Amino acid sequence: MLSVLCETANRFKSQLPRRSYGKVTFNYVIEISPDNGSFQILPFGRTGIELFVPLRGDRSGTPSDDNMKPYFLGDKAMYSLGVPDKGGEERASLVHKGFIKALLSVYKQTRNKELKHVYKVLKSKDLKSQVKAIGIRAGDWVAFRTDPKKYFYDDDGIAEAWERYLRNQCVLSEEAECCICGKPDKILKILPWQITLMGYSCPISSFNADSFESYGQSQTANSPICFNCAGTASHVLQYLIDTEPYYAVLSKDDAKGEGKTPLKNQRAIFWTKADIGPGDLDKTITVSFEELQKAILEPQSVEDYIPPPQHEEQLRRLCRLPWNTSNFAHEIKDNGFFLAIISPNKSRLVLREWLEVSLASFMTNVGLYADALSIISPDGQKTWSPPIPAIFEALKPVKTLLGKKDDDIFLPEKQDSNILRGLLRCCYTGASPPAALLERAVLCFRVFEKEPDVRKQKLKLEGRRMALVAAMKLILFYPVLKEAKTKGEEIYGEEVRRMEQLDEKGGKASYLCGRLLALLEEIQHQHALPKKLNATLVDRFYGTASTAPQSVFGTLLSMATKAHMGKLRKERFTKYEEMEMLLEDISGRILNGYGFPRILNMREQAEFALGFYAQRAVFRKQRGEIMTKP
């Protein structure tokens, strides 16, 4: 991962902020006249002023002779002016000396005359008395400038001198071959940069993951890395973590505070090696490769409608483009796509997943994944492939889902992290989808509760079922679609369309039983009209019907004939005929086969769910029950 970060650094060159710099809010500036060296201390008011200044991320602990780590030309008053804190005069004078030493080292490198003035001012008695008179405290940040409009920090020469100074401070005296660029150089012993994520920070060398092991943990001498490579990797990584569209928040632990579980915080970062816009391949695609990942990784919240994931349609279309024959074939072929999942933990960051694929396989794999996942919306209006967080959201118990605390982002438990990993691998690398997801989805789907009165809650439950069915469909049909792909685009396209909605020709008993249950419910609905039912036979019988059809369908069928069909026949004959025909068709096909199955296994239960869901969507569409955005 580190070498990939370095390789792609050029792509982000113009966007990256200055290296070894950071933002700090300053309280005072000491303005020095470049002509005669006179100075004045200007306060920045209560809120202070934010400046982008030379910083190092590794300052911590009690300052001592070998742990000073002063910043350059802008620091807390204890460092910059020697103002003592609780630690006393001695400590303040020690770190102030360090600050001056750093200043002199820049001066030596740049021969910047104005720095000489700063040095003189720092040594003057007049400064000390003014600092006292104003009451500057040890923790106040103090900046310097010799021009009212410009600070030292914006100067390229100063920035370079700072990096050279840092480098000298952080490297070992011996040279070795850098494990990233392969060039011999002095090796870093400490990394002066921190990666910050959600308030946690640590240097890249203490990430704990397989991909870093070869580069060693904290002992960088054993796995040598040069100043430049480590700096570049750190900066590119931080940039990606903080910048749209290169990240997606997969999950967030809303229970902030100490002792909780920061591992529940997961951020995905992703980028392509070279900057190529999908718009180059097809003008109708308006977003970048990175933005398109939102369709896969970003959580969706159900507001007034069930929305398809943002950009999903464009993503699926992009993956079908015959890029091989385009002018950009070369650029696609040589390009790569990278994805990392990072969580913060107490004192370090955890790299949970690292994927590297060529852009060509990305297009094949992601397309197949999205097509296998895609399913008709519960109102039969649109198809969609739910993003991964929506699948995890759906795996939560209904009670949590409709609880008062409305956190609409999934919190993956430990056992789910394999499923998460499996989904990511399936999506990006083309591995088989995680089989464990099937059982989880089937079990969650089985729970039907009385329909909530609040529309938003109802949509939430419907969105949940849609995500669960999509997950089941992915597991069941991914291999089938993969196979179809080898038979050409036309056959593949037909298969995709057939599977994402009701398959009227589908003859499996499990699938037909699911359809039949949806039909019996519809008959109940039609019978009750114009009254609306908020509880149907599904709530009571779905569990048994989907696991042991034989035991329950006989009763359900005779109930429908006796209780509902008679009335329907009298009052609305056309509807009656329509229902009766469908009833005969479906139950006939089951009986002409092997009859109602005694029990269904997990896969068959998933097929049952698919048949039920798709048939129900058809009825909802007929009744004009709209849940998706028009």
CB of 225 to Zn ion, least distance (A): 6
- Residue 230 touches Zn ion, criterion: CB under 5 A: no
Phi, psi values for residue 21, rounded to 5°: -120, 165
> 143 or 233: whose CB is closer to Zn ion?
233
* Nearer of residues 181 and 329 to Zn ion, judged by Cβ: 181
Q: How far is the CB of 220 from Zn ion (least distance, A)?
A: 11
Of 10 and 284, CB closest to Zn ion:
10
Write out the two tokens for 618. 């058809």
Burial category of 470 from C-beta neighbours within 10 Å (exposed 0-12, middle 13-18, buried 19 and up): buried
Is residue 538 part of the contact set for Zn ion (CB under 5 A)? no
Min CB(221)–Zn ion separation in Å: 14
Q: Which one among 229, 233, 438, 502 touches Zn ion, defined by CB under 5 A?
A: 229
Minimum Å gap between C-beta 161 and Zn ion is 21
- DSSP H or E run through 413: none
61 φ, ψ to 5°? 80, -175
At a CB cut-off of 8 Å and minimum separation 6, what does 46 contact? none
Number of residues that bind Zn ion (CB under 5 A): 5
Q: Smallest gap, in angstroms, from Cβ of residue 228 to Zn ion?
A: 6
Q: Cα(374)–Cα(367) distance, rounded to whole angstroms? A: 10
Work out whether 204 is an interface residue with Zn ion (CB under 5 A). no
Of 16 and 181, nearer to Zn ion (C-beta) is 181
Stretch that binds Zn ion, among 47-55, 228-236, 295-303, 508-516 (CB under 5 A): 228-236
Segment near Zn ion (CB under 5 A), from 189-197, 226-234, 235-243, 439-447? 226-234
Closer of 187 and 391 to Zn ion (Cβ): 187
Site for Zn ion in 470-489 (CB under 5 A): none
E-only strand ranges, 321-366: 336-344, 349-358
What's the closest the beta carbon of residue 179 comes to Zn ion, in angstroms? 8
Restricting to residues 127-186, name those near Zn ion by CB under 5 A.
Answer: 178, 180-181
Q: For residues 180 and 466, which CB has a smaller minimum distance to Zn ion in the complex?
A: 180
Q: Which is nearer to Zn ion, 221 or 350 (CB)?
A: 221
Cis peptide before 530 (omega within 30 of 0): yes
Give whole-number Cα distances, 78 to 48, 59, 101, 126, 570, in Å. 18, 14, 15, 17, 92
List the interface residues with Zn ion, window 362-381 (CB under 5 A).
none
Judged by CB under 5 A, the chain residues 36 through 75 that form the site for Zn ion are none
For residue 127, what are the contacts with CB-CB under 8 A and spacing of at least 6?
30, 39, 81, 121
d(C-alpha 11, C-alpha 331), whole Å = 14
Bond from prior residue into 597 cis (ω within 30 degrees of 0) = no
**Among positions 92, 94, 103, 226, the unique one binding Zn ion when judged by CB under 5 A:** 226
For Zn ion, the closer of residues 181 and 559 by Cβ is: 181
Q: Is 517 in the site for Zn ion (CB under 5 A)?
A: no
Measured from the CB atom, the residue of 178 and 240 that comes closer to Zn ion is 178
The tokens for 328 are 């950009």
Least separation in angstroms between CB 178 and Zn ion = 3
Phi-psi region of 48 (alpha: psi -120 to 50; beta: other; left: phi over 0): left
Rounded to whole angstroms, what are the CA distances from 357 to 275, 309, 387, 589? 15, 23, 20, 46
Least CB distance to Zn ion at residue 238 (A): 18
For 525-553, what is the HEC assignment? Answer: HHHHCCCCCCCCHHHHHHHHHHHCCHHHH
The CB-of-232 to Zn ion minimum distance in angstroms stands at 8
Site residues (vs Zn ion, CB under 5 A): 178, 180-181, 226, 229
